[in-house]
Amino acid sequence: MGASIDSQRCSRARQWISLEVDGELSRFEQALLRDHLRGCDCCRVFQADVGTVSRELRQARLEALLQPVALPAARRHARSRPLQALAAAALSVAALGIATTVGVLHGSPQRPEARSTRPAYLDSWDYERSLIRQEMLRAQQYGRAI
């Protein structure tokens, strides 16, 4: 477990070293890094190597390009815009249809006096289907045709 914790600390310290080279390390992180470097020879060597490489790269002459760097032009998605608008419209219509259906099935009527005193189960398809099945069974028992 100790090696794992040390490797995590060293990993974090090496990230801080990379940030420090670019001047992006906070004062708090600088203090934590200094504390870690006091007790870790490997990270001190890493810091020295990173510093050397960074200095050499920054002091090196720039290489002349043999040809200019060309980036591809940004693609316009003009063809997909009408499709997106159509999809948004279809989704809106579907949402409105669902909302209307749910409102009709589960919503309260606009006028309280229009409420039915009839039990809701009588308007159920399942209830109606069960009544039809019962009637068909009775008809079969007594030999009647429906």
Q: What is the pLDDT of residues 22-42, one digit of tens each?
A: 899 999 999 999 999 999 999
Domain-wise residue ranges, the chain: 2-59
Q: Which residues contact 109 (CB under 8 A, 6 or more apart)?
A: 115
Q: How far is CA 143 from CA 47, 102, 146, in A?
A: 98, 43, 10
Q: What is the pLDDT of residues 58-114, one digit of tens each?
A: 999 988 888 888 888 877 666 667 778 888 888 888 888 887 776 655 555 555 555
Asked whether the CA dihedral 40, 44, 46, 47 is positive or negative, the reply is positive
